[in-house]
Amino acid sequence: MFSYRHAFHAGNHADVLKHAILVQILDYFNRKDAPYWVIDTHAGAGLYALDGEWAGQSGEVVDGLDRLLGAPRPPELVTRYLHAIQAFNPDGVANRYPGSPALTLRALRAHDKLRLFELHPTEIEVLQDTLRQLGAPRRQVTIAREDGFDGLKRLLPPPTRRGVVLIDPSYEDKQDYRRTLQAVRDGLERFASGCFAVWYPLVQRVQAHDMARALERLPVEWLHATLTVRKPSADGLGLHGSGMFIVNPPWTLREELRAALPWLEKILAQDEHARHTLEAGGRSAAGSPAGASPARTPAREPRAAARPATAQKRSPSRK
Active-site residue, from 63, 66, 168, 176: 168
Answer yes or no: are the C-beta atoms of 52 and 7 closer than 8 Å.
yes
CA distances from 289 to 195, 257, 282, 284 (A): 17, 21, 7, 6
- Which pLDDT value is given to residue 9? 85
Amino acid making up residue 297: T
- Which pLDDT value is given to residue 234? 77
- Which pLDDT value is given to residue 283? 67
Is 176 one of the catalytic residues?
no
For the chain, the distance separating the N- and C-terminal CA atoms, rounded to the nearest angstrom, is 42
Inter-helix orientation angle 76-87/100-107, to 10°: 90
Helix/strand/coil for 174: coil
Q: How far is CA 315 from the centre of its chain?
A: 22
* Sequence-distant (≥ 6) Cβ neighbours of residue 206 within 8 angstroms: none
Helix/strand/coil for 228: strand
pLDDT tens-digit profile of 227-263?
999 999 877 677 999 999 999 999 999 999 999 999 9
Paired strand residues for 97? 48
Nearest to 97 by CA among 148, 135, 54: 54
Q: What distance in Å separates the CA atoms of residue 118 and residue 148, rounded to the nearest whole number?
A: 7
- Which pLDDT value is given to residue 51? 79
Which stretches in the chain have pLDDT values below 50? 1-5, 54-57, 285-315, 317-319
∠ CA 92-93-99, rounded to 5°: 105
- Which alpha helices (H) appear in the chain, and where do they start and end? 13-29, 53-58, 65-68, 76-87, 100-107, 121-133, 148-155, 175-190, 206-216, 253-268
Amino acid making up residue 56: G
- Which pLDDT value is given to residue 53? 52
